[in-house]
Structure 1
Amino acid sequence: MSRTAMSSSTRAVVEDLLRRIGEGDPDRIAALYAEHCDWKLDWPEAEHGRAATPWIRHRSGRADAAAHYRQLAEHHVPERVDTQVERILVDGDDAVVMGEIRQTSRSTGRAYRARFALHLTVEDGLVVRHHIYEDSLAVAQAFAS
């Protein structure tokens, strides 16, 4: 497959993933992840506790992806969720999605905005890498008791 065709295929999977995330069905979202996936978050573990943000952790595959999206939904007010995707950059199997997450903590009622960059790698139509870099301080402050 040519690099251009590979990039087109990657873009199609990423756009489908973003659409499914917007629809909010964890199992449909997870279906786009490989059985084994390299999932990492850029989160300073020593500085922020995890009790209030259990969805923020490293994961390893499709079942973990579904659990992530379920926990994310459980801890946020669904009527006050919005993600603005500003740009999708694609190079072969790799894509970077940049934008801003706008959410409201269910436990504290605090709204927050967090800039993010999501690095995805797609192989054979499935996401095999999910590395997210986000404003962890904004999230931690929204969930702090």
Structure 2
Amino acid sequence: MSSDDTRSTVEELMRRMTEGDHDRTAELFAEPVDWLLSWPDEGHPEVPWIRPRSGRTDVADHFRSLEAHHVPELNGTSVSHILVDGADAVVLGEIVQTVRSTGVAYTSPFALRLTVTDGLITRYHIYEDSLAVARALSARP
């Protein structure tokens, strides 16, 4: 896989995620996918989208759950850098979300580590400030 092909797939992933088309986003993922979110294995009771994922149906469900628990109109998430080396890519940016149930906004830097094989994402590891997310979701309105 060339760096150009990887960059193209990553940029398409960012586009689809921004558009909120969860099924089309999931089409970019391999079956199975190496999925990791930077949370303890047991997740957090206030954060239902944090759980193991393995395939396209799981990926679409993840993004649907994120949208259901946040106010999409207040999403200010941005990407500052996309770094590519062959099949591997790292996306750096900032998550800015508002929790639907609590009205609490949070901000978190993030790093997304991706691997693209044959045009599909085979690794999706995201690192974020999980404490900020958990606090925003567990706050009382």
* Unaligned 5+ runs, structure 2: none
* Unaligned 5+ runs, structure 1: none
TM-score w.r.t. the length of structure 2 is 0.94
Indicate whether 1:89 and 2:52 are aligned: no
Residue 63 (structure 2) aligns with: 69
Q: Tell me the secondary structure at the aligned position of residue 90 of structure 1.
A: strand
Deviates more, 1:135-144 or 1:9-18: 135-144
Matched-pair identity in %: 61
TM-score w.r.t. the length of structure 1 is 0.91
Structure 2 Cα separation of the partners of residues 126 and 82 of structure 1: 27
Candidates 137, 141, 144, aligned match of 2:138: 144
Number of aligned residue pairs: 139
Letter in 2 for 1:144: S
Residue 7 (structure 1) aligns with: 3
Cα offset, 1:30, TM superposition? 0.3
Residue 21 (structure 2) aligns with: 25
Structure 2 Cα separation of the partners of residues 109 and 91 of structure 1: 39
Structure 2 Cα separation of the partners of residues 45 and 90 of structure 1: 28
Q: Tell me the secondary structure at the aligned position of residue 106 of structure 1.
A: coil
Candidates 42, 45, 52, aligned match of 2:46: 52
Cα offset, 1:51, TM superposition? 2.6
Structure 1 Cα separation of the partners of residues 99 and 6 of structure 2: 32
Cα offset, 1:52, TM superposition? 1.9
Cα offset, 1:144, TM superposition? 1.1
Q: Tell me the secondary structure at the aligned position of residue 77 of structure 2.
A: strand
Structure 2 Cα separation of the partners of residues 127 and 82 of structure 1: 24
1:52-98: CA deviation from partner (whole Å, max 9, x where unpaired):
21112221111110000000000001111121101000000000000
Structure 2 Cα separation of the partners of residues 124 and 21 of structure 1: 20
Residue 112 (structure 1) aligns with: 106
Candidates 34, 38, 46, aligned match of 2:30: 34
Structure 2 Cα separation of the partners of residues 28 and 51 of structure 1: 28
Say what the alpha-carbon RMSD is for the aligned residues.
1.3
